[in-house]
Amino acid sequence: MPKVTREDIPNWFQRKTGFNVDVEELKKAAELDRIACADEPMKMMRDLWGITPRDCEKLLGAPSRTVEMWFHKDASRPPSWVVRLIVEKCAELHERRLQREKKRR
């Protein structure tokens, strides 16, 4: 039996269930999950999307001191549900930035 990879899952799921699954949305969700589950999700978002602590402050309405601690200290990592929320919000911010950049061209 051939090994199933992550890339095969959406197509396999569609064939087996007949559900209309948006493969791009599923891939996007998997990418966000990968970032949220990383050892240093804040650092990964900064490297991938250019998200700064200041961006998170504005986006979440969180105090600057708290956000700085999330970005720079391992011991002060927020709870997992907060990390997922931050990743989702930052992904939306990144998408908006990309759309603005495309419009300028």
Q: What pLDDT is recorded for position 1?
A: 37
Domain boundaries, given as residue ranges, for the chain: 7-104
pTM value surpassing 0.85: no
How does the average pLDDT of the chain come out, rounded? 78
Three-state DSSP at 72 gives helix
Q: What is the pLDDT at residue 10?
A: 56
* Euclidean distance between CA atoms 100 and 105, whole angstroms: 9
Task: Give Cβ neighbours of residue 45 (< 8 Å, ≥ 6 apart).
Answer: 35, 51, 86, 87, 90
pLDDT at residue 103 greater than cutoff 50: yes
* pLDDT tens digits, one per residue of 60-94: 888 988 888 888 766 677 788 888 888 888 999 98
